[in-house]
């Protein structure tokens, strides 16, 4: 109700050395001139630069100054997360650093999310790469094949890519924490769909042609895959519908949609890939013993 009446306000807090009130005032004026900045609250803007701190009671000065630092509160209307809030964080920091260098500190919800994005993005690439490599090694040792891990990972990773591309094409915002979680969890949580179908297909392929083996494998395992995917997908969608926390709700939607996409790709895309790559799988799999028609 407050946001509907007065609009959304996201504060950015700066801590700067309190050795120069005039410099602090100049910084506050420059920050207040930035787009999407509603107001700036600091000692210099609220009390003034001509009144010495010794003339004021400590209860007043303590709201803005400590022994070594002054607090500058920047109230913005750009929201918490997104291109504009993050750009505003960068601009505010650049101005603070231009006056105080590394002695200036910034904090706030949008600042924290910006730091998380900058820091975790690199770590996320490493985690994704290590996840894919680790799963590929496990699959390669399990199936004793070079091509099967590639086909399985391509199938599930395609589901991840499609899932994360939906917000882009629908022009919806995506919580960054949700992106980090789903980009790794969905791959690990749904790869077993493909493994289950692949293992059954590989077993039947030793006794019958590729098309017949795939049809039999789907007949035997589609029910198990549906149950597993339906449980994970329904839990994600229920979380999306019921949670009032936007971050939790976003993660639920991504997990629910991701599990459904993984199921569809395993049922439709993976069988096609296996049939088209049958000769390649046979050549790159140790002791495949695939059935050959006479």
Q: Give the pLDDT confidence score for residue 220 in this predicted structure.
A: 92
- How many Å apart are CA 184 and CA 127, to the nearest integer? 8
To 5 degrees, how large is the angle CA 201–CA 202–CA 203? Answer: 90
Q: Give the pLDDT confidence score for residue 294 in this predicted structure.
A: 54
Cα separations (Å) of 213 from 9, 120, 237, 243?
61, 44, 34, 44
- How many Å apart are CA 256 and CA 239, to the nearest integer? 9
pTM for the model stands at: 0.67
- How many Å apart are CA 236 and CA 250, to the nearest integer? 9
Q: Given CATH 2.40.30.20, say whether it is the number of domain 2-107.
A: no
195, two tokens: 């493994």
Phi, psi (rounded to 5 degrees) for 11? -85, 145
Name the residue among 277, 288, 284, 253 with its Cα closest to residue 155: 277
Q: Are 258 and 186 in contact (CB under 8 A)?
A: yes
Architecture field, domain 123-284: Up-down Bundle (1.20)
- How many Å apart are CA 169 and CA 165, to the nearest integer? 7
Q: Give the pLDDT confidence score for residue 191 in this predicted structure.
A: 87
Domain ranges of the chain: 2-107, 123-284
Q: Give the pLDDT confidence score for residue 178 in this predicted structure.
A: 76
Three-state DSSP string of the chain: CHHHHHCCCEEEEEEEECCCHHHHHHHHHHHHCCCCEEEEECHHHHCCCCCCHHHCCHHHHCCCECCCEEEEEEEECCCCCCHHHHHHHHHHHHHHHHHHHHHCEEECHHHHHHHHHHHHHHHHHHHHHHHHHHHHHHHHHHHCECHHHHHHHHHHHHHHHHHHHHHHHCCCCCCHHHHHHHHHHHHHHHHHHHHHHHHHHHHHHCCCCHHHHHHHHHHHHHHHHHHHHHHHHHHHHHHHHHCCCHHHHHHHHHHHHHHHHHHHHHHHHHHHHHHHCHHHHHHHECCCCCCCCC
Q: Which residue has the tokens 């003034």?
A: 48
pLDDT digits (tens, 9 = 90+) for 18-31: 888 888 889 988 99
> Which residue stretches of the chain have pLDDT < 50?
none
- How many Å apart are CA 42 and CA 27, to the nearest integer? 10
To 5 degrees, how large is the angle CA 101–CA 107–CA 112? Answer: 115
């Amino acid at each position: 109700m407050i946001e509907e009446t007065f609009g959304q306000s996201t504060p950015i807090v700066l801590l700067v050395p309190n050795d120069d009130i005039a410099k602090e005032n100049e910084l506050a004026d420059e920050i207040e001139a930035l787009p999407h900045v509603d107001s700036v609250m600091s000692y210099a803007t609220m009390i003034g630069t001509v009144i010495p701190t010794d003339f004021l009671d400590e209860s007043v000065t303590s709201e803005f100054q400590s022994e070594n630092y002054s607090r500058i509160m920047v109230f913005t209307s750009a929201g918490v997360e997104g291109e504009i809030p993050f750009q505003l964080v960068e601009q505010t920091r650049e101005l603070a650093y231009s006056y105080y260098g590394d002695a200036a500190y910034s904090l706030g919800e949008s600042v924290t999310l910006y730091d998380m994005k900058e820091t975790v993005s690199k770590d996320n690439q490493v985690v994704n790469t290590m996840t894919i490599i680790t799963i590929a090694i496990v699959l390669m040792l399990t199936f004793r094949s070079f091509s099967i891990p590639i086909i399985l990972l391509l199938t599930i990773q395609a589901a991840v890519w499609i899932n994360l591309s939906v917000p882009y094409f629908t022009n919806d915002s995506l919580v960054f924490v949700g992106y980090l979680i789903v980009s790794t969890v969905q791959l690990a949580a749904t790869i077993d769909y493909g493994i289950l179908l692949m293992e059954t297909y590989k077993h039947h392929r030793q006794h019958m042609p590729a098309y017949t083996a795939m049809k039999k494998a789907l007949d035997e395992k589609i029910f198990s895959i549906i149950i597993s995917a339906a449980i994970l997908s329904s839990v994600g969608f229920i979380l999306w519908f019921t949670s009032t926390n936007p971050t939790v709700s976003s993660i639920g939607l991504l997990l629910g949609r991701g599990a459904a996409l993984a199921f569809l790709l395993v049922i439709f895309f993976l069988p096609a890939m296996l049939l088209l790559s049958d000769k390649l799988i046979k050549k790159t799999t140790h002791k495949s013993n695939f059935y050959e028609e006479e």
